[in-house]
Structure 1
Amino acid sequence: MTVLVTGATGNVGRRVVDRLLAAGTQVRALTRRPEAAGLPGDVEVLRGDLADSDALAKALAGVDSVFLFPVPEGVEAFVDRAKAAGVRRVVVLSSKAVEFADGNAIGERHRVIEEAVEAGGFEWTFLRPGAFATNTLAWADSIRTEGVVREPFVDAQQTPIHEDDIAAVAATALLEDGHAGAAYALSGPEALTVREQVQAISAAIGREVGLEEQTLEQARAHMVAEGVPEAIVDALLSYGAQNVENAAPPVRTVEQVAGRPARTFAQWAVDHADDFR
């Protein structure tokens, strides 16, 4: 069986590749820059993306299953090409945001992908993580250079999930039966405030990291300056405000699907300590 992994060089996709290889699966990756992919030699690496019709057709030839990284542009072409190629199973890295009723930009972006894949008639599985632990890598530069994190809503709670736990669920859904038609909410094992996440990073790197609470105006200006689209900024700030009072509790999906408990944020911080030093 051959599995195509899109987004194979990303935080989650790279872990999916490793897990598929460990299971003895033939893995093919589609990437814009094969020369910079840094993937294991056992992976067949092809140049292209979902918007490249010819490359997509080549990448899908002989493929049984696909791990689909969420790129709305080109998803309709992907569905058409995948159906023509006889792809049976598609596992989509989606987002918990699709479950929210407020029509925010993040949820709508992922909903477009889910609806297109579901309409394609595949055996589909949607993975819907909330907060990624890797989101805190955005703090790495200020921690290294100033020893401080600046965030709004420092008492907002999240349930950050380790990227390898997402990959474990993805690989299980790709390789095993029984997951077709499932939309899996994913989280880490505990709810943590921003303060507590900063404390975990401090412990992992062995030095104190400060925390400064931004105003909404400061947070918005910073994200816009970093190139984040304003609609996404609005959604992120809305999530932060909601999570101060109404944070979602953790779920046990990783344990139920992958057969082991999800990793704590403290474990993630140890795994990534060098990124913050």
Structure 2
Amino acid sequence: MSIERTVLVTGATGRVGGQVLAHLATAGTVRIRALSRDPAAASAALGPDVAVIGGDLTEPDTLAGALDGVDAAFLVFPSVTADRAAGRLVATLTEQVGHVVYLSAHGVPEHPEPDARPDGTILGSHAHLESLLARSATRYTFLRSSGFAANTLGWAPQIRSSDVLRWFVPEASRALIHEADLGAVAARALTGDGPHRAVHHLTGPEQLTQAEQLAAIGAALGRTLRYEELDPEQATARLFPNLPAEVGAGIIAAHEAMVGRPEPVTDTVRRLLGRPALTFARWARDHAQDFAGPR
């Protein structure tokens, strides 16, 4: 079987990037390349079937070797912290790569301003990257994801040691997506011949409150877990001690907004993959071991 294209994956040792690699590996006609700031560690983690090339997205001048001969790239950008490098990065990428599949986020305006500038927020950073790519990429695919199911791994330390989760806004309702679905959609885009300018809003198949998410994790563990609500001041101080106060407050405010306006559900995963999106209950079973441990 001949190799048809070379695909570069950034964030390859992360949850979504790892799923992209796993799905690409089944394609058979793809030469897979991963970008890492620490090639030795990434090579040990990813195994011999993935060529790991050194490079840093925040330093675009380091990417020449990684981009040489690449047909398509999966881009996970370090939002906010690397916004200063976004312009140079996109210019470097799009000069050498024909198709960029960018992991963005739901909440970016449907049609971002052509010159959208970063404003210090995650959505502002995504809008900025999208506007840069839309101006200069020969072909792009934006994966505007709902909340990641894997974000609930932030609960794991508490659940491993107790049946009580002390968190905020239990009634915030979300359509969390399994990283395996993101990886499958990304791999399909990277290896297919779809439209030159595609934007996909990707979600899980259902809306669940945070309390219902906790119950699903409990069911996967065979335990009854209890949600103890923290007020915004307690949550900011206890859960986000290393973030600027306004950032922690913004996270909580966004969840408060999802009580009255839950995260929407789309059928995009079903439409693109020909099967339903994976449920949060499935995700909880897949990750039960992450929440288990000495008690």
Letter in 2 for 1:139: W
Q: Paired residue for 2:131, among 115, 122, 126?
A: 115
The CA deviation at 1:36 is: 2.2
Cα deviations across residues 132-178 of structure 1 (Å, max 9, x unaligned)? 10000000000001222122110111001000001111111111122
**Alpha-carbon distance in 2 for matches of 1:104, 1:263:** 32
Are 1:146 and 2:146 an aligned pair?
no
**C-alpha spacing 1:140/1:3, structure 2 compared with 1 (3 Å):** same
Are 1:49 and 2:49 an aligned pair?
no
Q: Paired residue for 1:92, among 82, 89, 102?
A: 102
Tell whether the 8 Å contact from 1:105 to 1:235 is kept in structure 2 after alignment.
no
The CA deviation at 1:209 is: 1.5
- Aligned-partner SS, 2:107: helix
Tell whether the 8 Å contact from 1:187 to 1:251 is kept in structure 2 after alignment.
yes
How many percent of aligned residue pairs carry the same amino acid? 43
- Aligned-partner SS, 1:18: helix
**Alpha-carbon distance in 2 for matches of 1:45, 1:196:** 40
What is the aligned partner in structure 1 of residue 191 from structure 2? 175
- Aligned-partner SS, 2:32: strand
**Alpha-carbon distance in 1 for matches of 2:275, 2:109:** 25
What is the aligned partner in structure 2 of residue 76 from structure 1? 87
Tell whether the 8 Å contact from 2:109 to 2:127 is kept in structure 1 after alignment.
no
What TM-score results when the alignment is normalised by the length of structure 1? Answer: 0.93
Cα deviations across residues 218-255 of structure 1 (Å, max 9, x unaligned)? 11113431x23445323322221111011133111111
The CA deviation at 1:54 is: 3.9
**C-alpha spacing 1:79/1:189, structure 2 compared with 1 (3 Å):** same
Tell whether the 8 Å contact from 1:106 to 1:232 is kept in structure 2 after alignment.
no
What is the aligned partner in structure 1 of residue 21 from structure 2? 17
Tell whether the 8 Å contact from 2:100 to 2:137 is kept in structure 1 after alignment.
no
Is the deviation greater in 214-223 or in 74-83?
74-83
Moved >4 Å (runs of 4+):
none
Cα deviations across residues 75-128 of structure 1 (Å, max 9, x unaligned)? 22222222332x110000001131399x78121011111111111132111111
Q: Paired residue for 1:166, among 158, 175, 182?
A: 182
What is the aligned partner in structure 2 of residue 259 from structure 1? 274
Tell whether the 8 Å contact from 1:53 to 1:77 is kept in structure 2 after alignment.
yes
The CA deviation at 1:58 is: 0.9
Are 1:7 and 2:11 an aligned pair?
yes
Q: CA RMSD in A?
A: 1.8
Tell whether the 8 Å contact from 1:157 to 1:243 is kept in structure 2 after alignment.
yes
What TM-score results when the alignment is normalised by the length of structure 2? Answer: 0.88
Q: Paired residue for 1:66, among 58, 66, 73?
A: 73
Letter in 1 for 2:140: W
**Alpha-carbon distance in 2 for matches of 1:193, 1:59:** 42
What is the aligned partner in structure 2 of residue 156 from structure 1? 172
**Alpha-carbon distance in 2 for matches of 1:118, 1:209:** 45
**Alpha-carbon distance in 1 for matches of 2:13, 2:7:** 15
**C-alpha spacing 1:89/1:231, structure 2 compared with 1 (3 Å):** farther
What is the aligned partner in structure 2 of residue 209 from structure 1? 225
Tell whether the 8 Å contact from 1:97 to 1:106 is kept in structure 2 after alignment.
no
Number of residues of Structure 1 aligned to a counterpart in Structure 2: 274
The CA deviation at 1:185 is: 0.8
**C-alpha spacing 1:190/1:232, structure 2 compared with 1 (3 Å):** same
- Aligned-partner SS, 2:33: strand
Tell whether the 8 Å contact from 2:39 to 2:53 is kept in structure 1 after alignment.
yes
